[in-house]
Amino acid sequence: MNYPLSLVAAVCFCLCVQNLSAQVSVKELTMRDAVDAAVAQARDLTIKAEQEPQSVSWLAAAPKLSVSYLDSREAIGTDETEVSLMLPIKSGWLRRADAALRHMSSEIAHAYELRTRWFYSGVLRETLWSHRLATQKLVSIREKLQLLKQLERQQQDLATAKVNSDLALLLVQQERLQAELAELEYHQLSERWLRRYRELTGLQQLPSTIAEQSISIIDSYQQHPLVRLLDLEYQREKELLASTSRRAEPWTFSVASKQLESPDLREDQLGISLEMPLSFLMGEDQSYSSASLQLSQVYWKAKDELLEQLHAQRNKIINEVQVLQKKQRLLDESVTLSKTLGQRATELQAANEINAEFVLRRRLAAVDARAAAASNRLQVEKSKALLNQARGYSL
């Protein structure tokens, strides 16, 4: 049977798309992929470099055309007709300022892209680690619930057989209800962070790995996206101010054509002129100097405040990491101790040396100790990621 070529092409296209989708679906998503998606998702909100209209680089302003006619009232007088074209030409100072501004525009556009990527790196770090912490808490709570339900069945059997009082059963039921409430709370929290991630990136899949290595360098902050952007904006403002100084005043080149006409004479004249301000013989006026000084003061004040803020944030996170690491060692010891206590309590209960309530408390304490250790371990990794963010490193 012969099939139309269009049908064969459509089938091949569908198979190729299906194969490509399968390849994409099995590919592990990275944090960098997630940031790329978030930046693309917010592309309409970011500052993008726009193509500026090209202007004539040697003209300081629009050319001026002047036309004049003088009619003599005398019978033997001379009538004058003059046409002149004035071209304001940029001075060398202004051309250098314009070239610097064009270069600055490109650098600032790139700096804004880096700042945008750094910003969304921070948002995704916070979102993904918060989701991971809520999910880990949820797993620990469900593990505890599983144990509580098992203990509840055991205590019900013991209470029915009149072996124990119903006090232990009531304690287990109370713990179960509290755990179920916590499960509901952390399930909602986990789903909320997941929705936030999907809104940011438009992706359904989560990155396979979100842990980062802590970068140990001297924090000069000169390449931090916020500091870099502040420096470039200051340089641009300086060049804009320089373009308004006296040395930036344009030269005026004129081409004139004049016609003189009288009863016995007609004369055509053609001439050129160049008007060049000797601004180098004069210093800058007070308004320019004041504006330059104010710009410098505002810049250094803003930079000092930004550096102080970044330094304080970095030190705060470093201190948090150190405290969490010390806490982790204690929690690991607590997990080991809780496990030993649980085993010992079970042995003593078998010998009827302690009551069931104590054993129950020990088993629940062991579950809580493991949950606290796991949660703190994630907090350490999250703090390392936030430290990279504070140092200005994007994903």
Question: Residue for token digits 């029915």?
Answer: 160
Question: Which residues lie below 8 Å from residue 354, measured CB to CB, with a gap of 6+?
Answer: 345, 348
Q: Are 239 and 104 in contact (CB under 8 A)?
A: yes
Question: Which residues lie below 8 Å from residue 1, measured CB to CB, with a gap of 6+?
Answer: none
The one-digit pLDDT tens for each residue of the chain (395 residues) are 444 544 444 445 444 434 433 443 446 888 889 888 888 887 755 444 444 545 557 666 677 788 887 777 776 777 788 888 877 777 767 777 777 777 888 888 888 888 999 999 999 999 999 999 999 999 999 988 988 888 888 778 777 777 666 777 888 888 889 999 999 999 999 999 999 999 888 888 898 888 888 766 556 678 889 999 999 988 888 887 777 776 767 777 778 888 777 777 787 778 887 777 776 656 556 677 788 888 889 999 999 999 999 989 888 988 998 999 998 899 888 888 888 877 777 666 665 655 666 777 777 888 888 889 999 999 999 998 988 888 888 88
What is this structure's pTM? 0.73
Q: Are 204 and 24 in contact (CB under 8 A)?
A: no
Integer Cα distance of 34 and 40 in angstroms: 10
pLDDT of residue 1: 43
Integer Cα distance of 114 and 6 in angstroms: 46
At 120, is the secondary structure helix, strand, or coil? Answer: helix
At 4, is the secondary structure helix, strand, or coil? Answer: coil
Beta bridge partners of 261: 79, 266
